[in-house]
Amino acid sequence: MKIKALNGFKDIMPDDVLLWRQVEESARIVLERFHFAEIRVPVLEKTELFSRSIGADTDIVEKEMYTFVDKQITMRPEATASLMRAYIEHNMHGRKPVQRLFTIGPMFRHERPQKGRLRQFHQLDVEVLGSASPRLDAELMSLGDCLFSELGVSTSLEINSLGCPDCRPEYRRVLLAFIEERLDQLCEDCRRRSQRNPLRVLDCKKQGCRIQVQDAPSVIDYLCENCSIHFTEVRRNLDLLEVDYTVNKFMVRGLDYYVRTTFEFVTDQLGAQSAVCAGGRYDGLIEMLGGPKVPGIGFAMGIERLVLLLKRLEDHGDQSAGIDVFIAGLGEEAADYSFKLMHGLRGIGLRVDMDLDTRSLKSQMKQADRSGAGYTVIVGSQELDNQQVVLRNMKTGEQTDVNVDAITDFFNETYGL
């Protein structure tokens, strides 16, 4: 029986890892420009942390978490909760007024896998704690924008406001009344949704429902004064930074903790999974988890989805990490010498490989070619007798005899080590 990876769990193969690194490195560069600090948190947490923060009756908590029931611990389905826990646990609010944090790592959700959605997937998670300024909302969105342009992928930004505990109940009532008036026109799912989370009816993808909700009351019209001012300021600041966006009054959130600003970077290139990055404000969350009364905002970016987008940009063929020097040897006595030489060259920082199984020279040259080495050192018995090796430039095919003692110096000069 062949052992295979679990459904929804994927190996990231060497060629793809290069793209992943590109994403992660770009992210770290951009995040540093925005003065963020990386934090790494555990993958396992107490189940309660997630049920309390994400919401006990959300799909994630209800049926998608990998939980060790007997131990009451869960593999994180998202990172925000863990970061909040760490923030509270280490009293980070006391160290400086505003904490800008990010983390990159795997998340786990037991959903049915499909394109751009796995059971173990990876997110870049960015959070800022300690400021309620609408400037921050705009700054975070511009950060996402910068990251996408750094990577060369194009997405569009959609924003909305969900109001706050002061104004949302009123809107909810109005919306529910609107929905109930045309309940018989809506799909089965929406009828169910209208009971639990009427907001969700707004982003149903079915044509029939879309027509029905077209003229539904907009959250934005029901925002309280503070939320309204906040949203206007967010938009003004986005304009100030010249970040393009559209207001999507149908955009809602699946997680309970979001208030006020929500946003999504979407693309039409990923099939059903249009969101590459999504986030929003969660001003009451930290307090709810037993921490200080501190506002927060953050977003999560789906790395797999981003990598899929990058793959669409150009043909990424074999581009496995190459080496500088390949050592080809003839026979066993050469092998000892080659082995030692390889060790020495690695010691001065070169990327070196050889054929440990002493195959034919032809085979070794082939390996040298594929390895991407700029030079091949050929060691034979004749060369050993004369204390010389052949140095072959793999680009030009030019060969020179070099004294064994001069080899290191040659590479030192060539590669400027």
Partner RNA sequence: GUGGGUGUAGCUCAGUAGGUUAGAGCGUCUGGUUGUGGCCCAGAAGGUCGGGGGUUCAAAUCCCCUCACUCACCCCA
- With beta carbons less than 8 A apart as the criterion, state whether 205 and 257 touch: no
Output the six-digit token pair for 76: 């994180």
Output the six-digit token pair for 21: 């690194």
Contact between 354 and RNA (CB under 7 A)? Answer: no
Which residue is associated with the tokens 């994927």? 10
Contact between 300 and RNA (CB under 7 A)? Answer: yes
Of the two residues 93 and 352, which places its CB atom closer to RNA in the complex? 352
Residue type, 175: L
Contact between 273 and RNA (CB under 7 A)? Answer: yes
For 113, how many CA atoms within 13 A lie in the half-sphere containing its CB? 11
- Of 130, 198, 298, 302, which one interacts with RNA (CB under 7 A)? 302
Which residue is associated with the tokens 């909810």? 172
Distances (CA, A) of 107 to 165, 276, 283, 300: 29, 15, 23, 11
Smallest distance, Å, CB 236 to RNA?
25
Among 92-100, 159-167, 175-183, 357-365, the segment contacting RNA (CB under 7 A): 357-365
Smallest distance, Å, CB 171 to RNA?
18
End-to-end CA gap in the chain: 50
Burial class of residue 324 (count of CB atoms within 10 Å of its CB; 0-12, 13-18, 19+): buried
Output the six-digit token pair for 184: 């018989």
Output the six-digit token pair for 19: 């793209």
Q: Could you say which residues in the range 239-268 bind RNA, by CB under 7 A?
A: 253-255, 264
Quick note: the x/- pattern for RNA over 71-110, rule CB under 7 A, is: -------x------------------------------x-
Q: How many CB atoms lie within 10 A of CB 113?
A: 17
Among 15-23, 142-150, 232-240, 389-397, the segment contacting RNA (CB under 7 A): 389-397
Quick note: the x/- pattern for RNA over 116-145, rule CB under 7 A, is: xxx--x-x----------------------
Of the two residues 126 and 167, which places its CB atom closer to RNA in the complex? 126
- Of 223, 259, 278, 354, which one interacts with RNA (CB under 7 A)? 278
- With beta carbons less than 8 A apart as the criterion, state whether 388 and 405 touch: no
Site for RNA, rule CB under 7 A:
4, 6-8, 10, 58-60, 64, 78, 109, 111-118, 121, 123, 189, 193, 200, 204-206, 253-255, 264, 271-278, 300-302, 304-305, 330, 359-363, 365-370, 378, 380-383, 390, 392, 394-395, 397, 399
